[in-house]
Amino acid sequence: MMYMLADESRFIDRSQKGDLAAFNALVECYQRQVYNLCLRLLASAEAAEDATQEAFIAAYRRIDSFRGGNFRAWLLRIAANASYDELRRQRRRPAASLDAAMAVQGAAEAPSPAAGPEDEALRLELNVHLQGGLATLPSDQRLAVILRDVQGLSYEELAEVMHCSIGTVKSRIARGRARMREYLVARRELLPRPFRLMDEE
Amino acid sequence: MLEVLARIRHRRNRRQLSPYLDGMLSVHESRRLQAHLAQCRACRDELAELQATVQSLAELPLVESPRSFALTAAPRRAEAPRPAARRLEFGLRLATATAAFVLAVLAVGDLVGLAGEEKEEGEANVARMEAAPREAATGQETASALQAETPEVTAEDKAATEAPTLLAPATGPVTGSPPAGMGGVEEGAPSGTPVPMPSAPPEVVPGITEPATPAATATPAATAPAPETPPLAQTPVPGETPSPTEAPPAAFGPGGIPEVGAPSATAEAPAATATPPPIGAHVAPGETEQPPSVENQAAAEAQRGTLAADEGGPSRETVLHWLEIGLAAGLALLFVSWVLARRRGQA
């Protein structure tokens, strides 16, 4: 997924003392995950890039406020906030349409060599629908589903990122998934395997 | 009935499908859910669909980072730990809370009556202590102002003469003095019979007390103290007949000693309306002794004097209300500055 720093806390320590190189090592380590979170939250490569940069700048400026704990959760929280800011900015000025954004995103995804061209097309289509479904969720449910199901964080980490209880995490995930399910089931005919199979059951 | 129960159970189990997928249910809960799944087709379908949803989400590819987001130049650090700002914010918060608390106590006391009384007395005492010297000043001021209004001031001659007497009453019988003065002076002046005790207070009293203090009830108080101070009183100015406007000078003019007494009396008179007699009594002695110094300070302390008079004199309620209003205004100011400080701290 991404390489881990052997001794993360030492880099954090040095960052807090103003060592930009140490901080940039952390950036290199987490930028992919941060960018992907922003991309799923914003559904726009361009906006995700801006939000990611903003998130790292904010992280550096606020690194002193990190007092141990899960650095990834701390960073992802900042990234989520940067994304929400970006979303607000976009809403103020009508940005590129969602479709265009998703096209960009689809193109950005590397085709998996294992699958045939047909499967590949289906997969891309499914991804577009997934992104469309995510866009319909309320922001807290969207964040929960992305962190949990797309990025694979634990419930505990989600609670840290979202500053809420495990119970709240549980319910946000459950509601987000339920909505996603409804969204996909409503587009069953358009979807590849799993949902079609279900239909035939 | 059974159906309702089943539906409730079904709904609960449905809610647990999502955490079940993540293995977040307790053993007991999982077992119960599995039992339900075995006999509920709808839940089985939903679980399968949820699983498919989760799986397809998990298959969303992790996109490569389009570029490096490493920072080329260190951005300005957030002034996160500015201790001074934080302390300021804390201080403001504390002050706001304190003010709010005091205001609440005052308001409650005002409503209940008890707390307010106690407080006021305390304040009144303090005011007295400070006010002793000032009272003279106030007296003069008030006297002058008032005299202009009261034509009968002529009585002041007597008043002056009697001023000494006043000294005692002046401070002591705050409540009484104003009315006494009024009644005494006005009545006395015409009649020509100089009534020592009443006359002194009159000068001042008229202006101030006239509107506020209706009853002559005060007189008794004034009279009582009078006996103590007589000696001084006699020296005073018999001859000087101050015209209404001149009243102030008159106060001074008469015996140095008496003058003081007179003014002080006046000062208190206005204030006295509300204050309880006991307090006044306490003050009286102290004041009598201070007369000489008072004269000089009069001008400078005029302002303060008035304040003192206000505190001592006006009814408790008035004082309380002004206190409350002041506190509320201060509280609002404090609150606003706290909010500002806080916002600045967070920015």
- For residue B276, is it left (φ>0), alpha (ψ between -120 and 50) or beta? beta
Distance CA B178, CA B204 (A): 8
Domain ranges of chain B: 8-43, 100-326
Say if residue B55's pLDDT is above 70: yes
Distance CA B53, CA A187 (A): 12
**Under DSSP, is residue A91 helix (H, G, I), strand (E, B) or coil?**
helix
Distance CA A33, CA B149 (A): 86
Considering only the beta carbons, identify the residue of A40, A108, A198 that sits closest to B48: A198
Say if residue B291's pLDDT is above 80: no
Say if residue B302's pLDDT is above 80: no
Q: How many CA atoms lie less than 13 Å away from A109 in the CB half-sphere?
A: 24
Distance CA A136, CA A18 (A): 41
pLDDT tens by residue, B99-146: 899 888 888 877 776 544 554 454 545 445 554 444 444 444 444 444
Q: What is the ipTM of this complex?
A: 0.84
Mutate to test the interface with B, among A150, A166, A175 (most CBs of B within 10 A): A150
At residue A33, the pLDDT reads 95
* Residue in the structure block whose two tokens are 């609150």: B335
Distance CA A90, CA B292 (A): 79
Written in H, E and C, the secondary structure of chain B is: CHHHHHHHHHHHHHHCHHHHHCCCCCHHHHHHHHHHHHHCHHHHHHHHHHHHHHHHHHCCCCCCCCCCCCCCCCCCCCCCCCHHHHHHHHHHHHHHHHHHHHHHHHHHHHHHCHHHHHHHHHHHHHHHHHHHHHHHHHHHHHHHHHHHHCHHHHHHHHHHHHHHHHHHHHHCCCCCHHHHHHHHHHHHHHHCCCCHHHHHHHHHHHHHHHHHCCCCCHHHHHHCCHHHCHHHHHCCCCCCCCCCCCHHHHHHCCCHHHHHHHHHHHHHHHHHCCCCHHHHHHHHHHHHHCHHHHHHHHHHHHHHHHHHHHHHCCCHHHHHHHHHHHHHHHHHHHHHHHHHHHHHHHC
Fold designation for A109-201: Arc Repressor Mutant, subunit A (1.10.10)
Distance from CA of A69 to the nearest CA of B (A): 18
Other Cβ atoms closer than 10 A to B238: 15
Q: Which residue of A has its CA nearest to B59?
A: A150
Residue (of B52, B60, B42) closest to B21 by Cα position: B52
Specify the DSSP class assigned to residue A147. Answer: I
Higher pLDDT, B259 or B313: B313
* Radius of gyration (C-alpha) of chain A in whole angstroms: 18
Residue (of B141, B143, B178) closest to B312 by Cα position: B178
Q: Which residue of A has its CA nearest to B54?
A: A149
Instruction: Report, as an integer, the average pLDDT of B33-43.
Output: 93
Fold designation for A1-95: Rna Polymerase Sigma Factor; Chain: A (1.10.1740)
CA B40 to centroid of chain Cα atoms:
70
Domain ranges of chain A: 1-95, 109-201
Please answer whether residues B264 and B167 qualify as being in contact, where contact means their C-beta atoms are separated by less than 8 angstroms: yes
**Residue B18 with chain A: CB contacts under 8 Å:** 170, 173-174, 177-178
Considering only the beta carbons, identify the residue of A45, A148, A194 that sits closest to B56: A194
Other Cβ atoms closer than 10 A to B108: 12
pLDDT tens by residue, A40-96: 999 999 999 999 999 999 999 999 999 888 999 999 999 999 999 999 888 876 545
Instruction: Report, as an integer, the average pLDDT of B164-170.
Output: 41
Considering only the beta carbons, identify the residue of B50, B69, B73 that sits closest to A53: B69
Please answer whether residues A183 and A136 qualify as being in contact, where contact means their C-beta atoms are separated by less than 8 angstroms: yes
Q: State residue B60 phi and psi, 5-degree precision.
A: -55, 125
Distance from CA of B98 to the nearest CA of A (A): 30
Q: Can you say whether the dihedral through the CA atoms of B113, B115, B116, B122 is positive or negative? A: positive
Q: Which of residues 26-55 of B touch A (CB under 8 A)?
A: 45-46, 48-50, 52-55
Q: Which of residues 77-96 of B touch A (CB under 8 A)?
A: 77-78, 80-81
Please answer whether residues B232 and B167 qualify as being in contact, where contact means their C-beta atoms are separated by less than 8 angstroms: yes
pLDDT tens by residue, B42-53: 999 999 999 999
Say if residue B340's pLDDT is above 70: yes
CB contact under 8 Å between B57 and A180, yes or no, is yes
Other Cβ atoms closer than 10 A to A59: 26
At residue B76, the pLDDT reads 77
At residue B324, the pLDDT reads 85
**Residue A170 with chain B: CB contacts under 8 Å:** 18-19, 24
pLDDT tens by residue, B232-258: 444 444 444 444 444 444 334 334 344
Distance from CA of B345 to the nearest CA of A (A): 13
**Residue A185 with chain B: CB contacts under 8 Å:** 49
- For residue B242, is it left (φ>0), alpha (ψ between -120 and 50) or beta? beta
Q: How many CA atoms lie less than 13 Å away from B25 in the CB half-sphere?
A: 19
Distance CA B8, CA B16 (A): 13
Mutate to test the interface with B, among A15, A19, A24 (most CBs of B within 10 A): A24
Considering only the beta carbons, identify the residue of A53, A60, A185 that sits closest to B49: A185
Specify the DSSP class assigned to residue A116. Answer: -
